[in-house]
Structure 1
Amino acid sequence: MPPLRRVLLLATASALVLAGCTPGPPDEIESAAEAVRALPGVADVAVTRTFGPEPVQGNFGQRSETRPSTVQVEVALAGALDPEGAGEAAGTAHRLLAGAARDVDENITVTSDFVGPGLTVSAGPDTAADVVVDAVEDGYGLLAAGATTVGLGLGADGGSDPLAATAHVAAASPDDLVDIAEAADELDRRVELEAPGARYRSAARVPDIDTVRLLVAAAGRPGVQDATYLAQERRLTLQSDAEPGAQSLADLRRWLEAQDFATADNPLAYTVLDAGYTETTGWVSGAEPAPRPTEPAGGATPWPDDDAAPNCTGQDLEVTLGVVDSAAGTRGVSVRARNVSGRPCAVESVPDLVFENEAGQPQGNVTVQPSDPGVVPTRVVVPDGEAVLAPLLWHTMSTANDPDTTTTIQVTPVPDADPVPLDATTDGTRATGLDILDGAEVRVGPWTQGD
């Protein structure tokens, strides 16, 4: 922010405070901001304060709680800094701001953004300073490798895991993504990559460079308008402008299946969409996944097998829904089934699911597919009191026009059991239902030992 604009903003804020209007940032934050502004490598600092809803009235007509507010501090780093210099400046600034934030009223939330040309790193007062330093250094390194923008949102858990934050990286061309991926691999930084017509979604991992190369090559094939790789599904999706039945679609599929890339033990699925959005699926390198049994969640020790254990019935199982998790344009949740029979019993199936809206009507055109085509249902003997789980995964869908969300999931846990209705909302209303809407594709896994 230019100095003159900052002076005018501060003067205006001061005038409003004197006039009895909205108060400005706390003195502790203003003082820390002035100290940060004087640091080498810092170009400017801007402080803004926003307020939440008005407090509610108490039982006796008095306000029962104070109005919460957020103080946002934006630290502009000098553009000519190298990664180490930028990291050092950001780390020192964060220590000053975090120290001041701990002294302000508990009803005030303080956040900090460290920005440079193309870079934004967001942190809370509890984020460790060394995590801020690493994030800023890595951001400058990714920009030097060809990124146009880099964004990182850091957790406020004290920074126990410097890799907990995923960098969201944009590039001007798909051809730049390989160099950026190589830089991320060298930095050991998790990234999501995006360029016009190409996206690499892998929030939980450092990028696989060979997969990025395949993505870039696929994005450059004739007629391909968009190429997306989803690591969580291990799937490459290509949108073509070719009409249904066109020779170029067959050529594209042959090219995918001719790549020397995937194996049965490490398969990669592909989906090709024509101009009419008709799907054709297959396997890169022609390598279909080798069938493999389910494995205990979290690498736990398998429960004992028992050939004499009977199959679980519906009455043997208490079925519940886990907490929804979101990442990289997908959502996931687990259906859980706890053995309440008083003895061991066995399951070996995929639960049957029906997704219903608030009126109790099934969502239309929902496609249910295996969460991992290579995994086959395995007989699991469930000890009394223990639970098995079945994972669900789907792509986020827009709820902007208030559609009929999924408020109930009817779960038939084992064959011949009665369906169990599970509330899929957080407060019983459609507004908090799941965005599994008409036309959704849901991937469901077989029952496996819970963690």
Structure 2
Amino acid sequence: MPPLPRVLTLAAVSVLVLAGCTPSADVPPAEVTSAADAVRELPGVDDVAVTRTTSAAEPVQGNFGQRSEPKPSTVSVEVALAGTLEPRAAGQAAGEAHRLLVAAAGRVDDRENITVASSFVGGPGLGVSTGPDTTSEVVADAVEDGFGLLAAGATTVGLGLGGRGDGSWDDDPIAATAHVSATTRDDLVGLAQAAEELERGVELEAPGVHYRAATRVPDVDAVRLLVAAAGRPGVVDATYLSQEQRINLRSDAEAGSQSLADLHGWLETQDFATADHPLAYTVMDAAYAETTGWVSGVEPASYTPHTLDPFGDAEPWADDPSAPDCAGPDLEVTFGVVDSAAGTRGASVQATNVSGGPCAVENVPDLVFENEAGQPQQDVTVEPYEPGVVPGRVVVPDGGTVLAPLLWRAMSTTNDPDTTTTVQVTAVPGADPVPLDVTTDGTPATGLDVLDGAEIRVGPWTQGR
């Protein structure tokens, strides 16, 4: 049997032992313990803990009856670094310790098929773990940065190192992100500045304040805005979502209160966002009702009126200025498959031109969502599919299909509410409504979770796939 690859991870050392050469279940391999002794003697290392646990073997049915697979063992090596070390010295100690442990894995008998790893702690707040094949250089950099962030005021710093076999993070920048906590929100700006100097991605936490990063290096101005927002009257929780370019604030103020109005006014007068780099905000009041807007009062440049691009990769249909408008009988209307992801539903209404010649559409179809009793769902709000989207004239060739996309948030059906089983579609102005059954052909058998009070985003007709 060929040996398994020796893979370094920093959380634990896993040892797979072949039958016939099993060492004592509680004793780590001598090569690992010897390396741990050498690590213990390095300057800046306070202690090294090595433990081994063995899991039960699973019986396997073979050609000659039942047999047991070799018992996998886990050897955990934790290296404790002195909390008083300077960042560079801490990094050097961690890199050398890591190198010694990796070398030890290479000396273990191949028949034991060992996978080696280690974890590092420093002072009261640092924890570093690695993924497969993390290099000693990457470990050294991570530990050095971790000590630097602790020196800048962090309470805890955690790094889970992953990435590719060469130790880099180019394919996954978030793998290099440090998770940093602080005692107070006032510490976060300094930590963001320190991380920026280190070129280290961070996610920042303090009581009631959360900075969620999507890139390696934090936006110090965004952290400064977040901290200031968290300090506004009535704000009890503030979160900045870098990937979504959004700041979410939770307030204990009542809807319609002056405190809430002042918070909105403050957000919209900050000198922060631009049309090319907008920042949305959501404010949740004491009753958990949400209101939204744009920081600095600046909407994205993409919010200028625009039409939807054709769906799919087909060539756009030719425009024919002489084509008449499509009438109701010219279009055969159907309902598309429902997709679900992360609490969001997506679907579409589709219309195929059956008139025998080209005709044009330029509108958003009118939709009425009905329950099984044929009653319209109450208080359904229809919103633009995307901000700034307006209908465009689409000349539909004979046999061509246009679609109008739909999006809505999933709604709870645990108490058996009246789901939507029929959607009445008025495809073009003046057409008769067409009832579509939405409990078959790619839609849930129980109907759509579009209930009373739903918000639906509906797009205009555009060229389909």
TM-score range, shorter chain: 0.5 to 0.7
Question: What is the rounded CA distance, in whole Å, between the counterparts of 2:192 and 2:93 in structure 1?
Answer: 26
Corresponding residue SS for 1:180 = helix
> 1:70 corresponds to which residue?
74
Amino acid at match of 2:218: P
Find the residue that maps to 1:58 and give its secondary structure: strand
TM-score (norm 2): 0.62
- Contact 2:157 2:181 (C-alpha < 8 Å) held by counterparts: yes
SS at structure 2 position matched to 1:253: helix
Cα distance, 1:130 vs structure 2: 1.1
The aligned residue for residue 236 of structure 1 is 247
SS, match of residue 76 in structure 2: strand
Larger Rg belongs to = 2
CA contact (8 A) 1:70 1:111 kept: no
Go from structure 1 to structure 2 and tell me whether the alpha carbon gap of 1:43 and 1:125 turns closer, same or farther (over 3 Å shift): farther
Aligned counterpart, 1:29: 32
Aligned CA distance change for structure 1 residues 250 and 335 (closer, same or farther; 3 Å): closer
Mark the runs of 5 or more structure 1 residues left unpaired by the alignment: 1-19, 297-301, 325-330, 338-347, 353-365, 381-389, 396-402, 405-411, 424-435
Q: Structure 1 residues 77, 55: closer, same or farther in 2, change over 3 A?
A: same
Give the unaligned 5+ runs of structure 2: 1-22, 321-331, 349-362, 368-379, 395-404, 416-422, 428-435
Contact between 2:382 and 2:458, CA under 8 Å: does it hold in 1?
no
1:131 counterpart SS class:
helix
Cα 1:94–1:375 change in 2 (3 A) is farther
Which residue is 2:96 aligned to?
Answer: 92
**1:370–1:219 Cα change, 3 Å:** farther
Matched ranges for 1:398-437 at <5 A = 421=442
Q: Offset at 1:243?
A: 2.6
Matches within 5 A, 1:191-202: 191-202=202-213
Query: Is 1:289 aligned to 2:297, yes or no?
Result: no
Q: What CA RMSD, in Å, does the superposition of the two structures yield over aligned residues?
A: 5.1
SS of 1:79 mapped into structure 2: coil
Is 1:257 the counterpart of 2:265? The answer is no
SS of the aligned residue for 1:33 comes to helix
- Shift of the alpha carbon at 1:274? 1.4
Q: Per the alignment, do residues 254 and 92 of structure 1 end up closer, same or farther by CA in structure 2, a change over 3 Å counting?
A: same
- State which drifts further: 90-99 or 44-53: 44-53
Contact 1:98 1:126 in 2 (8 A): no
Name the counterpart of 1:407. Answer: none
Give the distance between the partners of 2:308 and 2:139, measured in 1 at CA: 37
Q: Cα gap change, 1:38/1:173 in structure 2, threshold over 3 Å: closer, same or farther?
A: same
| 1:38-437 alignment runs, 5 A limit | 38-52=41-55, 54-59=57-62, 61-102=65-106, 103=108, 109-117=115-123, 118-124=125-131, 126-155=133-162, 157-158=164-165, 159-161=167-169, 164-290=175-301, 291=303, 305=316, 307=318, 373=387, 421=442
1:64 Cα deviation from its structure 2 partner:
4.2
In 2 relative to 1, CA 238–99 (structure 1 residues): closer, same or farther, beyond 3 Å? same
Q: Secondary structure at the match of 1:62?
A: strand
Q: Give me the TM-score of the superposition, normalised by structure 1.
A: 0.64
The whole-number CA distance in structure 2 between the counterparts of 1:376 and 1:128 is 53
Summarize the Cα distance change of 1:89–1:76 in structure 2 as closer, same or farther, 3 Å threshold: same
| CA deviation vs aligned residue, 1:222-281 (integer Å, no higher than 9, x gap) | 111111011121111111122333221111111111111112222111111112211111
> Deviations for 1:58-86, whole angstroms, at most 9, x for unmatched residues?
24553342233332211111122111111
Q: Which amino acid aligns with 1:137?
A: E
Number of matched pairs? 361
The one-character-per-residue Cα deviations of 1:162-199 (angstroms, maximum 9, x if unpaired) are: 75421000011111111111111111111100001110
Separation in structure 1 between the aligned mates of residue 275 and residue 286 of structure 2, nearest angstrom: 30
Structure 1 residue 155, shift from structure 2 partner: 0.7
Q: Percent identity?
A: 59
**Aligned equivalents of 1:233, 1:23: Cα separation in 2:** 49
Aligned mates of 1:267, 1:284 — CA distance in 2: 7
Conserved? CA contact 1:369–1:443, under 8 Å: yes
Provide the C-alpha distance between the structure 1 equivalents of 2:252 and 2:116, rounded to a whole number of angstroms.
Answer: 48
Whole-Å separation in 1 of the counterparts to 2:214 and 2:408: 15
SS of the residue corresponding to residue 117 of structure 2 reads strand
Residues 240 and 205 of structure 1: is their aligned pair in 2 closer, same or farther, counting only changes over 3 Å? same
Structure 2 counterpart SS, 1:213? helix
Deviation at 1:108, TM superposition (A): 5.0
